[in-house]
A and B are shown apart, each in its own frame.
Chain A
């Protein structure tokens, strides 16, 4: 019995840590792989071997590449924790010249598990996992998953999730309504342009990809890559392949495939991408003339969206995002001007209708539904009476409340 207990303990610990890791750290591990790199190229090996702690780095980065496989991250971590447990038991046996008792072994295993779970439940770990979850879901365009993770309540606790929630709603076509459902306090909540960090660049790359501006998505993917230890990572290479395929740039897509193919875990991805590249038409994208008419894109999402519009890089999500940014800037004239003159206003999202109520143009006012006008009158009467933010906040959230008081 004691022998069985002794042998069973590592297995139980392995299973318990695996389960805990799967539940608490799965997305953190996926993203760790995204920002990791291990290549069988001369440059990579030279860089690692010439850097600090070369062998430790090599082992860590080699191992991390497997975290891309479903369940592999938790499994590897569980294995490492269990190995630590076995090592501790072995050390005890060598020092004390007898085996650890079953009870003590169980206590040791419980301590190892508790240590792991405690670390995983630390606020920073939870926040990292939440970020990783929305980052990965956004990367895979799993917008429902993003919305489920970045709820209005979750965004109140962690405002850094708001841009992801807005991106997801923008792709779902529900961005206008989300403006008042979420704790959005201004245009800055719609993007991370001023955030010159890995998270900010990563988000911007996804944003521009989803807005249909591949060039700018590549720009921010490069920026993301520069925040990683080797100036490139598995995830950014995969993104660059995808984006260059979208841009029709075969030579660049092929180059990144060749590089990615030197990683054992990513070789299959590279092969699949190569098949797509081979099926692409010849390099039709190449236009070798210089142009000074192309738009300038700086760190200003609103400016960029407007420029994209004038250069034909505009999809429905980008149109909605531009209008929402105008609303958040309280720029109602340009907002109204972004619609065709014969727009059926009653068919628009509620937030847009609320905004139109504030446009002092009789031609617009007469096209609004009586119901929304009545609601607007009601709000204005209340607002004029109290003019107190706290009391107005008691009303259902509306664009009017944002416009006059902010949230």
Chain B
């Protein structure tokens, strides 16, 4: 099925318009194509990987499958050429390691202070089908953000909806409810969530977030926290309590170990006078045992120093993937931000060069089986975040990442929105737009 898909589409895309040259000269190198799918590893069943020549030439692609490798031979030419170029066949490795069938993400303009239309969407990986989970038409063009699914379950999710009547929206099957977390606990709103593996608790950071703008071209925006703590929401009794609170430190980005016995988070000493001092804000990776709804031991520093700031810790067995920037807590606006991998068994950390680029790498999620990772990167144009997938071999190695395939490869260029917070989901998320819209007062001008 996947091979058939890939073959069919590649042929369809093979620049059928115009005359094909009768002769081709062989070129030893691989073809310069966009997206770069040369030598990537893809999951069985993924939508066809469509591409075009980087320089816009017409092309033809022929594919043959040998075992689990799909060999693609690209021949390219310009209009009117009598002779084209035939490149060396490049491999696409097909992996049988399972991947969750959907990815959910938010689409939003990568703007500064305001937004217009945004929404949380789901994309089926076996096709190009993208559907809204909820858009901000539901809450009168307010913000919808920080979606998370209970262990990837499409039936159980939460997200924040800001604006009038806003709060945290919990979806559990057909039940949809909104809670203002500040009203049922220590006056803290939830920000970054992490659903505990036993499904009962959700840890949130509670951040007071601000932003500022810079004159320099290369980093237009800086987002920072002036205060942040960790809180715990208990879904069983609908209550919130403080989990980690210190006056002198900022705590954020909670994450659970797969067994739920360890809570990880990022913590930085507050130097005061942020944002002027924001260059001194370096978040370290912290951990503490968790038992019976509370921390059961002293927090310890897992990793960190005064030259790197850690964001988005995500655990997969003995491996912990995180984003590292030079400072601060919002790496998407840091071009130097890269992904790093920590081996929890021996404490070693390495920059994941096979995933990183010259531009920003930021949010990332493991698939439920731990064989795949999806991460956001600004490597295509420097501002509009796109999603890349990579195979993980379980031994600390990733395959060359590949751009989430689209029916038309030019779509990545034409889309005026960024992808935020990609999360794997185990199935299609039911349409709850109307039910969620019912939680908010209706405003005509928001349509």
Contacts and interface: CB of A to CB of B under 8 A. Distances in A.
Interface string B221-237: 01000000000000000
B414 A289 contact: no
A288 B358 contact: yes
B184 to A, nearest CB: 32
Contacts of A172: none
Which size bracket describes the interface of B in this complex?
Answer: 35 or more
A294 interface: yes
Given A226-B109, A296-B213, A297-B213, A231 B416 contact: yes
A12 interface: no
B383 to A, nearest CB: 6
B214 interface: yes
A44 B109 CA distance: 13
Q: Which of A232, A293, A294 has the most CB of B within 10 A?
A: A294
A47 B137 CA distance: 11
Contacts, number: 139
A222 B213 contact: no
B216 interface: yes
B96 interface: no
B414 A295 contact: no
A286 B218 contact: yes
Interface stretch (B27-35, B154-162, B244-252, B275-283): B275-283
B23 interface: no
B116 interface: yes
Classify the secondary structure of A's interface with B: loop
A248 B217 contact: yes
B217 A226 contact: no
B105 to A, nearest CB: 14
Contacts of B115: 226, 231
Interface in A211-228: 213-216, 218-219, 222-223, 225-228
Contacts of B215: 213, 215-216, 294-295, 297, 307-308, 311, 313
A252 B417 CA distance: 13
Interface string A232-267: 100000000000000111011011001100100000
B112 to A, nearest CB: 5
Contact of B384 (A232, A255, A290): A255
Interface in B277-292: 277-280
A259 B414 contact: yes
A54 to B, nearest CB: 12
Contacts of B214: 215, 291, 294-297
Contact of B382 (A214, A215, A228, A249): A249
B447 A51 contact: yes
Interface in B84-109: 109
B116 A228 contact: yes
Interface residues of A, number: 51
Nearest to B378: A251
Contact of A219 (B112, B382, B410, B417): B112
Given A223-B112, A228-B116, A259 B416 contact: yes
A43 B218 contact: no
A51 B137 CA distance: 9
A194 interface: no
B276 to A, nearest CB: 7
Contacts of B182: none
Nearest to A288: B335
B336 interface: yes
Given A215-B213, A252-B382, A259-B416, A288 B218 contact: yes
B60 to A, nearest CB: 24
A271 interface: no
Contact of B279 (A43, A216, A288, A292): A292
B220 interface: yes
A285 B217 contact: yes
Contacts of B277: 292
Contacts of B220: 215, 218-219
A41 interface: yes
Interface of B: 109, 111-117, 137, 212-220, 222, 275-280, 325-328, 334-336, 358-359, 380-384, 408, 410-411, 413-417, 447
A-B residue pairs, 7 tightest by C-beta? A292-B279, A231-B116, A294-B214, A226-B114, A251-B381, A288-B335, A290-B326
Given A223-B111, A286-B358, A308-B215, 6 more contacts: A52-B447, A259-B416, A287-B216, A291-B218, A296-B214, A296-B275
Interface of A: 39, 41-43, 47, 51-52, 213-216, 218-219, 222-223, 225-232, 247-249, 251-252, 254-255, 258-259, 262, 285-298, 307-308, 311, 313
14 contacts: A215-B213, A228-B116, A232-B109, A247-B217, A249-B217, A251-B380, A255-B413, A259-B414, A291-B216, A291-B279, A294-B214, A296-B222, A296-B275, A297-B212
